[in-house]
């Protein structure tokens, strides 16, 4: 039996999950109300998360399944959202690739042996076995058992370009000098790096599905740094490879920021749902994308205002969606640490109330 067949048999939806508003929206089917979940819904804006974080480093939280499951489940149930997303980090996959990852206090993620040239690409490892990430899969199994039975769980990974940019820069970046230098000066090394990442990601996502995720999301947080021509030549084939190799029947959300000029290319790369940031109107973006579900696109900074303003801005987005099947409400990016929890709850409640069919 092939690996794909085994994976397909492992993915079974209960009727409760299949008929959940989130899963129906992924399939562009009518829903009783617009489903909503929020990127970084388990995070530092919640006191309960900060209490857990005070006892663990960030990597410890990711690598201790009981802790990852606890914060995932608590956030989803506390907010009343329509999907949970597993607590993890997009950079965890870099360790089995052979990279030295650290989350430095006050600095964010640091890769101590970045890739800058072809010889650096050659020292990376092929991730044929994702068992070193078993803590993620164990967290998914625990979370699935503890979540409400009708609440879908989303697995995720970073998209190839965003991961490659971290790997080349050694951390976050504003201008992606090392990333683009490799891309422009040694296309062979660049494509070898991206292909290596893509193969690892497909295996990683499918293992998350086998563990109990009902949908998966690719985060291409930094892809807005690219021109359309560069995206088409250097990124699209590799992102498409990841998505095409995800187990059939599992919804894939393809999300990026700064992508107003790349939307048609993101759709070409693949995904059942295209995530939109706040820099584009939802109705105009959806018209450009055509026959695909969309996710978005509330500006997370508006969560620092008042419940009335939050409600007005949510209603404007829902009006743009116009009850068209296939809209999942979300932010244009993640919840920020200082966000008032009560405003996040107010947003979820407003979306549910305003979108009742």
Residue in 18, 24, 78, 89 annotated catalytic? 89
Pairing of strands 108-111, 101-104: antiparallel
The sign of the CA dihedral 323, 326, 332, 337 is: positive
Residue in 18, 28, 44, 240 annotated catalytic? 44
Q: Quote the pLDDT of residue 4.
A: 42
Residue 166 is a catalytic residue: yes
Residue 89 is a catalytic residue: yes
Residue 44 is a catalytic residue: yes
The sign of the CA dihedral 293, 330, 146, 218 is: positive
Residue 199 is a catalytic residue: no
Write the CB contacts of 116 (distance below 8 Å, at least 6 apart in sequence).
168, 178, 182
Q: Indicate the Cα dihedral angle 258, 262, 268, 274, nearest 10°.
A: 30
Residue 28 is a catalytic residue: no
Tell me the three-class secondary structure of 164-196, residue by residue. Answer: HHHHHHCCCCCCCHHHHHHHHHCHHHHHHHHHH
In DSSP terms, 217 is beta-bridged to 156, 253
Dist. CA 77–CA 83, nearest whole Å: 9
Domains of the chain: 3-354 (3.20.20.210)
Residue 277 tokens, joined: 């940031």
The pLDDT tens digits along the chain (357 residues) read 334 433 444 467 999 999 999 999 999 999 999 999 999 999 999 999 999 999 999 999 999 999 999 999 999 999 999 999 999 999 999 999 999 999 987 778 999 999 999 999 999 999 999 999 999 999 999 999 999 999 999 999 999 999 999 999 999 999 999 999 999 999 999 999 999 999 999 999 999 999 999 999 999 999 999 999 999 999 999 999 999 999 999 999 999 999 999 999 999 999 999 999 999 999 999 999 999 999 999 999 999 999 999 999 999 999 999 999 999 999 999 999 999 999 999 999 999 999 998
Write the CB contacts of 200 (distance below 8 Å, at least 6 apart in sequence).
93, 96, 97, 126, 127, 130
Q: What are phi and psi of 27, to 5 degrees?
A: -90, 5
Residue in 40, 199, 203, 313 annotated catalytic? 40
Residue in 49, 166, 204, 231 annotated catalytic? 166
Nearest residue to 157 (alpha-carbon basis) of 132, 173, 124, 133: 133
| Number of Cβ atoms within 10 Å of the Cβ of 3 | 10
Dist. CA 71–CA 38, nearest whole Å: 14
Residue in 18, 28, 53, 181 annotated catalytic? 53
Dist. CA 69–CA 88, nearest whole Å: 10
């Amino acid at each position: 039996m092939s690996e794909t067949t085994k994976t397909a048999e492992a993915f079974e939806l209960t009727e409760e999950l299949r008929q959940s508003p989130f899963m129906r929206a992924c399939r562009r089917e009518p829903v009783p109300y617009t489903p909503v979940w929020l990127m970084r819904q388990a995070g530092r804006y919640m006191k309960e998360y900060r209490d857990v974080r005070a006892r663990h480093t960030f990597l410890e939280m990711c690598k201790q399944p009981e802790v990852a499951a606890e914060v995932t489940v608590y956030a989803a149930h506390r907010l009343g959202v329509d999907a949970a997303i597993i607590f993890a980090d997009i950079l965890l996959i870099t360790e089995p690739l052979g990279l030295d990852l650290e989350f430095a206090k006050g600095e964010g993620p640091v890769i101590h042996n970045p890739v800058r040239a072809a010889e650096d690409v050659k020292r990376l490892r092929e991730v044929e076995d994702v068992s070193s990430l078993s803590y993620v899969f164990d967290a998914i199994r625990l979370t699935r058992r503890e979540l409400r039975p009708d609440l879908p769980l989303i697995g995720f990974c970073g998209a190839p370009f965003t991961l490659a940019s971290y790997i080349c820069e050694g951390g976050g970046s504003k201008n992606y000098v090392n990333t683009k230098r490799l891309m422009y000066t040694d296309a062979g090394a660049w494509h070898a790096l991206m292909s290596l990442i893509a193969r690892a990601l497909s295996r990683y996502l499918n293992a998350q599905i086998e563990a109990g995720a009902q949908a998966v999301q690719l985060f291409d947080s930094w892809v807005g740094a690219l021109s359309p021509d560069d995206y088409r030549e250097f990124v699209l084939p590799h992102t498409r490879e990841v998505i095409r190799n995800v187990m059939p029947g599992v919804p894939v959300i393809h999300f990026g920021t700064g992508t107003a000029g790349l939307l048609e290319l993101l759709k070409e790369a693949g995904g059942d749902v295209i995530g939109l940031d706040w820099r584009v109107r939802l109705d105009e973006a959806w018209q450009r994308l055509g026959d695909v579900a969309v996710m978005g696109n509330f500006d997370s900074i508006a969560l620092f205002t008042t419940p009335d303003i939050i409600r007005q801005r949510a209603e404007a987005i829902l009006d743009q969606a116009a009850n068209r099947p296939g809209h999942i409400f979300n932010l244009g990016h993640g919840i920020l640490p200082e966000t008032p929890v009560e405003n996040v709850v107010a947003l979820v409640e407003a979306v549910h109330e305003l979108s009742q069919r």
